[in-house]
Amino acid sequence: MVGVKSIPSPAISADDRSHEVDHPSSQVAQFGADQPLRLDCGVDLTPFQIAYQTYGELNADRSNAVLICHALTGDQHVANLHPVTGKPGWWETLVGPGRPLDPSRYFIICSNVIGGCMGSTGPASMNPTTGKVWGLDFPVITIPDMVRAQAMLIDRLGIDTLFAVVGGSMGGMQVLQWTAAYPRRVYSALAIACATRHSAQNIAFHELGRQAVMADPDWHNGGYADHGIHPHRGLAVARMAAHITYLSDAALHRKFGRRMQDRELPTFSFDADFQVESYLRYQGSSFVERFDANSYLYLTRAMDYFDIAGDHGGVLAKAFAGIQTRFCVVSFTSDWLFPTSESRALVHALNASSARVSFAEIETDRGHDAFLLDVPEFLDISRAFLQSAGKARGLTGKND
């Protein structure tokens, strides 16, 4: 008989996850009926809330605020222990004492995006009209919707101009949207491993993940919360497929090769014989402990719809016409999800707009995820850019 080892059920219950959805372990900004969020789909979202974390202190003239925009599976817990997993913040290589974004110098803000599942209103949240979880009744959201919500949060915090907006991947898309939608409110922008629109290949990978979720019998057409279950198998497969795109062939070969997992000979089954198989199964099972399946559908769709040039007659340079923001664009040689060619197209458009822009392509075999890892050249470039922009704006700090 051929053995089959399935993806294990998560160790954290749906109740553990749902607590963070509406009652997060972070600060919350609530917006009532008098402050609706107008969505691109034509719907006013109201009421809604934004969960966020801050690090450091706002200076007297409110000139040191930095907004970090998280990627697809990230959240507001950028530099603190995650309340669900207990793991360190997802960007502690960049944020922290002595790091390029040092809380002793900057007032750092990171919010969970609208459509997320860690405290900001999304499909896993309670619909106040029905008293049930939103599910697929939640309106479809876009990257511009996320940024409009963030702008409302920044207004609530009493900040007019952000010293910097920083993000990678989906976070980088938000950075670019900030500069296009609110150019006077962004002094500097650090856009990493991103693009001004999603490619057909990326849309295809997202559709693969969405179909994996929707094929799970526990999905129940998005109504799994009413059944007290979660489509963890489908979501885990979606995460496994996506995680492959975040790496490179060289990185996978260096880390795993064809090495066996806790054995010397194949089992002649469908168990995880290879280390890389075991690694992917772990990535899938650990992901479902902290993420909502419907949020995954909504956020991948938001990335698919993103196209800055589309709002400007297909001419990318028009999106940044006359902009005064200082840009630093960073790509990685082994990132095939958002290849350097996409970053170069952005830089060319910024040059055509007479924007102040610097560009760096960093050689590494660590793939798209390189921006989250300890890549010294990336950290050095980030530090230098932020310090240069800080000097131009008159910020001073112990690292200058």
Catalytic residue numbers read 169, 335, 368
Helix axes 293-305, 170-181, angle to 10 degrees: 50
Buried-state track 313-333, b at ≥16 Cβ within 10 A, e below 16: eeebbbbbeebebbbbbbbbb
End-to-end, the C-alpha distance of the chain in Å comes to: 67
Where residue 314 falls (left for φ over 0; alpha for ψ -120 to 50; beta otherwise) is left
Instruction: Give the tokens for residue 369.
Output: 């995820």
Q: Evaluate whether 12 touches 73 at the Cβ level (below 8 Å).
A: no
The residues, any chain, with a CB within 8 Å of residue 155's CB and separated by 6 or more, are: none
Strand partners, 108: 55, 66
Cα gap 4→57, rounded to integer Å: 53
Contact 185, 290 (CB under 8 A): no
Q: Are 260 and 275 in contact (CB under 8 A)?
A: yes
Q: Which of 240, 358, 229, 368 lies closest to 296, judged by CA?
A: 240
Q: Determine contact, residues 390/397, Cβ cutoff 8 Å.
A: yes
Question: For the chain, what's the residue count?
Answer: 400
CA angle, 309 as apex, 342 and 294 as ends, to 5°?
80
What is the Cα gyration radius of the chain?
21
132-133 and 162-168 as β-strands: parallel, antiparallel, unpaired? unpaired
